[in-house]
């Protein structure tokens, strides 16, 4: 199927290392381990610093202690974060916004892709073409006109302007051209005879979508979910501009404000660890799916 060339997380073939000299093999292993330190140590430093007061952090930076939980270690930085800002509120906002963006996105985008891939209607080619064309426009291009535009849109309670609301943080990101594209290419690879057989049995198109095609599309659902999860969780530029009220802020804007509120690095690192560790744990638990999803995002070429 379409996932075949993207099984990066499966065992890798070894074309490069077939028969290099023993010296080269050792040398490569050393390089791998050095790189390991380059990528892991800053994150370890973040975690360890979150447990120390600033004096301890800067006393430890000249030795291996920087990466060890030694000296004046406590959770006081964490309690300070909870005292200074409504951290749990920010976290809840991010969890809700991410869930809504990913969840509604899965439904809306897969429905659209199903219609485009498996039904026939006039103007289909144009619709698909326009959706794919929007892929070359980065969000940063339209962010500022969008800010102006949502401020003029009628809001649900009858007033005008979406700025400083919950809705403005996820509704614009539900429909996603790249998700539609990923679903489209997956649905397109499923044999069309399935639809015909179901039609003969009297199934409606919606039933075919819900009961036949979606259950067959697990890999595509996982890929889209993962690829929309990270940007949704990491939303920063948009909520920074669109939301002013503190209680509506997501975690990333929250930490930015927090870092301007304090000069205490230990506390900033505590906040940083609080919003990073859960994502890292999820990643490590599902790392195979994560890596395969990222890999398949590159296949479009």
Could you tell me the smallest distance in angstroms from the CB atom of residue 165 to another protein?
Answer: 14
Instruction: With CA atoms as reference, report the closest residue to 184 among 233, 267, 124.
Output: 124
Q: Taking CB under 8 A as the criterion, which residues in 86-125 touch another protein?
A: 108-109, 111-112, 114-116, 119-122, 124
Q: Which is nearer to another protein, 96 or 291 (CB)?
A: 291
Query: Pattern 246-265, binding to another protein, x per CB under 8 A?
Result: ------x--xx--x-----x
Q: Taking CB under 8 A as the criterion, which residues in 60-89 touch another protein?
A: 61-62, 66
Residue 185 binding another protein, by CB under 8 A: no
Number of neighbouring beta carbons within 10 Å of residue 175: 15
One residue of 80, 92, 171, 225 binding another protein per CB under 8 A: 171
Angstrom distance (rounded) from CA 69 to CA 48: 6
Residue 197 binding another protein, by CB under 8 A: no
116: part of which helix (H) or strand (E)?
Answer: helix 87-118
Could you tell me the smallest distance in angstroms from the CB atom of residue 223 to another protein?
Answer: 13
One residue of 1, 22, 23, 38 binding another protein per CB under 8 A: 38
Instruction: Answer positive or negative: Cα dihedral of 265, 266, 267, 271.
Output: positive
Q: Which is nearer to another protein, 96 or 198 (CB)?
A: 198
One residue of 58, 69, 167, 261 binding another protein per CB under 8 A: 58
177: part of which helix (H) or strand (E)?
Answer: helix 177-188
Exposed/middle/buried for 111, CB within 10 Å: 0-12, 13-18, 19+? middle
Q: Which is nearer to another protein, 87 or 265 (CB)?
A: 265
Q: Which is nearer to another protein, 28 or 82 (CB)?
A: 28
Residue 34 binding another protein, by CB under 8 A: no
Residue 154's DSSP bridge partners are 160
Could you tell me the smallest distance in angstroms from the CB atom of residue 237 to another protein?
Answer: 6
């Amino acid at each position: 199927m379409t996932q075949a060339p993207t099984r990066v997380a499966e065992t890798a073939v070894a074309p490069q290392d077939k028969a290099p000299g023993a010296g080269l093999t050792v040398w490569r292993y050393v390089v791998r381990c050095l790189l390991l330190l380059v990528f892991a140590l800053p994150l370890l430093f973040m975690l360890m610093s979150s447990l120390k007061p600033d004096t301890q952090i800067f006393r430890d930076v000249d030795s291996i202690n920087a990466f060890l939980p030694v000296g004046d270690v406590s959770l006081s930085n964490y309690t300070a974060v909870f005292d200074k800002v409504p951290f749990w509120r920010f976290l809840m906002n991010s969890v809700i916004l991410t869930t809504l963006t990913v969840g509604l996105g899965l439904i809306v985008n897969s429905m659209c892709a199903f219609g485009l891939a498996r039904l026939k209607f006039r103007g289909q080619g144009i619709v698909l073409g326009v959706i794919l064309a929007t892929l070359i426009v980065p969000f940063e291009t339209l962010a500022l006109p969008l800010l102006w535009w949502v401020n003029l849109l009628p809001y649900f309670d009858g007033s005008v302007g979406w700025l400083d609301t919950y809705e403005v943080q996820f509704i614009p990101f539900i429909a996603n051209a790249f998700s539609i594209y990923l679903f489209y290419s997956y649905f397109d690879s499923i044999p069309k005879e399935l639809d015909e057989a179901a039609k003969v049995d009297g199934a409606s198109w919606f039933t075919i979508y819900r009961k036949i095609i979606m259950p067959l599309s697990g890999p595509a659902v996982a890929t889209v979910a993962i690829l929309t999860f990270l940007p949704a969780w990491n939303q920063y530029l948009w909520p920074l501009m669109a939301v002013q009220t503190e209680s509506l802020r997501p975690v990333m804007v929250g930490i930015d404000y927090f870092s301007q509120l304090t000069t205490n690095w230990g506390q900033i690192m505590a906040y940083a660890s609080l919003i990073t560790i859960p994502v890292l744990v999820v990643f490590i638990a599902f790392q195979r799916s994560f890596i395969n999803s990222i890999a398949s995002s590159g296949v479009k070429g």
